[in-house]
Structure 1
Amino acid sequence: MSINFWSPIKLSIEITIISGILATILGITVGKIMANRTFKGKAIVETIFLLPLVLPPTVVGFLLIIIFGRNSLIGQLIELIFDQPVMFTYWSAVIASTVVAFPLMYQAAVAGFEGVDKDIENAGRMDGANEFQIFIYLTIPQALRMILSGSVMSFARALGEFGATLMFAGNIPGKTQTIPTAIYMAIDTGNMEFAWLWVISIISISFFMLICLNLMKP
């Protein structure tokens, strides 16, 4: 009983940590590139970045299958390198969670970077600092509150991911079965005891994350 119960929780935490870190790194990187920059087609690019926020999870899962499936160029390349398809693996769950968590991190990063005082950055340049030093020591500290807020929201979103993960990664116990998919299967099979325990678990973890987020507010 303990193994069956703890396995989805352990897997969810692992996937949430990895996908949350990936979403944070990608969000900061892309957010820095896009902030305070105007170019033709920017609205279209940003709309694509934010689509996972509004698309049904099943659509996101379907698109991931098309992009990473065995019939796609990317999927075939992955299978050639790792000698197995990415679908229905641990990493497919990570990819699905990262994709749905990224928009939240991206929005927060862009807002944070656009609020940075450019005079402080320019003063750093005048003092001889290179762009990397300016980014690390001047830009990041000023945008840190928004970055941390976006990161927490990304982790929470990754933890609760269900639809895209179910379609792209499946529901394989001990391999791709996360808390949301475990709850779905428990209800489907009439095991309400386990369903309640997993519901309480994910509520507790999410509650802790949101408490941390609220503590970051001024």
Structure 2
Amino acid sequence: MTRASGGAAVFLRGTARENAEVLGVPRWIVAVAAVGALFIVLPIVGMTARVDWANFGALVTSPSAIAALLLSLRTATASTALCLLLGVPMAVVLARSRFRGQRFVRAFVLLPLVLPPVVGGIALLSTFGRRGLLGQTFEVLGIQIAFSTTAVALAQAFVALPFLVLSVEATLRASGARYEAVAATLGAAPNTVFWRVTLPLVVPGLVSGAVLAFARALGEFGATLTFAGSLEGVTRTLPLEIYLQRETDPDAAVALALVLVVVAVVVMVATHRPRGLS
């Protein structure tokens, strides 16, 4: 084990021991949790150890790398906004209403969680491609979605949307409907109840879901490649750039992979803070 991984293991054991003393968690659970944490941390440590630090700056500031990173950030932001627009109403309907076939509707909403991303890309291409279900109509109108930057955002939103729906729905179910019931009893209209009561209740879940959706969109690969292709500056996101560089320049691929990890960690740490932590 390297010095970095050994230090990480000591830190995790020390932190876990302190928390266990406060919460009364059995030691065997702490040990298994530490193994699980190392399972996540050690591959990142191993990748970091392979980075060519002497040429790191040149590897991550090439024109293709910068273009791919900026495109990833731009499309991930757009797809997260689309997830918020569609996901919040979906979560409210699933959490606050009862209708026939609801279990099947929920299963289809969460289907992208278990589908291989490439299958999602094929489904999107079959719908929005030039010969797709809706793509033929768009083609007549002079609108081409497949293999465009719009296709990247749609592919990312397709795989990221369930994360937002799950987070918001869980928050709604945990909070209960008593406040909304009181507001309705006092004469508030459904729109007023939603904007003044329901939406403020789901803010924590909304933030968590948006962060998860953004992170998932940032790392999307399979659906993007299948539905949008890999055109530099147009559809080649950072994960696609890393994949291509892996074959021609492994050092650049490792350096760019570390950049993607750092960006994802910064986003998660800056915007996702569990209650009770400072």
- Structures share fold, TM-score greater than 0.5: yes
The answer to whether the 8 A contact 2:155-2:227 is kept is yes
Q: Which consecutive segments of 4 or more residues in structure 1 shift more than 6 A?
A: none
* Aligned residue identity for 2:140: L
* Aligned residue identity for 1:135: F
Equivalent residue in structure 1 for 2:250, among 185, 192, 217:
192
The answer to whether the 8 A contact 2:69-2:238 is kept is yes
Equivalent-residue separation in structure 2 for 1:158 and 1:128 (angstroms): 41
The answer to whether the 8 A contact 2:149-2:235 is kept is yes
State the partner residue of 2:222.
Answer: 163
Query: Is 1:131 paired with 2:190?
Result: yes
The answer to whether the 8 A contact 1:23-1:105 is kept is yes
Max radius of gyration: which structure? 2
Q: Which runs of 5+ in 1 are unaligned?
A: none
Alignment of 1:50-89 (within 5 A): 50-81=110-141, 83-89=142-148
* Aligned residue identity for 1:12: S
Match of 2:236, SS? coil
State the partner residue of 1:13.
Answer: 73
The answer to whether the 8 A contact 1:145-1:216 is kept is no
- Deviation, 1:5, is 2.0
- Deviation, 1:175, is 0.3
* Aligned residue identity for 2:183: G
Equivalent-residue separation in structure 2 for 1:87 and 1:119 (angstroms): 45
Match of 2:96, SS? coil
The answer to whether the 8 A contact 1:16-1:158 is kept is yes
Deviations 1:97-156 (A, max 9, x none): 000000111111111222334232222234333222221221122221111111110010
State the partner residue of 2:83.
Answer: 23
Equivalent-residue separation in structure 2 for 1:117 and 1:48 (angstroms): 24
Task: Identify the range of structure 1 (66-75 vs 154-163) with the bigger mean alpha-carbon deviation.
Answer: 66-75
The answer to whether the 8 A contact 1:24-1:154 is kept is no
Alignment of 1:29-40 (within 5 A): 29-40=89-100
Equivalent residue in structure 1 for 2:242, among 172, 183, 187:
183
Equivalent-residue separation in structure 2 for 1:193 and 1:173 (angstroms): 20
Equivalent-residue separation in structure 2 for 1:179 and 1:195 (angstroms): 10
Equivalent residue in structure 1 for 2:269, among 202, 207, 211:
211
Equivalent residue in structure 2 for 1:119, among 167, 178, 182:
178
Query: Is 1:96 paired with 2:149?
Result: no
Change (3 A) 1:61 1:27: same
Equivalent-residue separation in structure 1 for 2:216 and 2:179 (angstroms): 34
Equivalent-residue separation in structure 1 for 2:267 and 2:173 (angstroms): 25
Task: Identify the range of structure 1 (164-173 vs 116-125) with the bigger mean alpha-carbon deviation.
Answer: 116-125
Q: Which runs of 5+ in 2 are unaligned?
A: 1-60
State the partner residue of 2:165.
Answer: 106
State the partner residue of 2:9.
Answer: none
The answer to whether the 8 A contact 2:164-2:212 is kept is yes
Sequence identity (%)? 31
Task: Identify the range of structure 1 (174-183 vs 26-35) with the bigger mean alpha-carbon deviation.
Answer: 26-35
* Aligned residue identity for 1:37: S
Equivalent-residue separation in structure 2 for 1:8 and 1:171 (angstroms): 10
Equivalent-residue separation in structure 2 for 1:37 and 1:202 (angstroms): 39
Aligned length: 216
Q: CA RMSD in A?
A: 1.6
- Deviation, 1:58, is 1.2
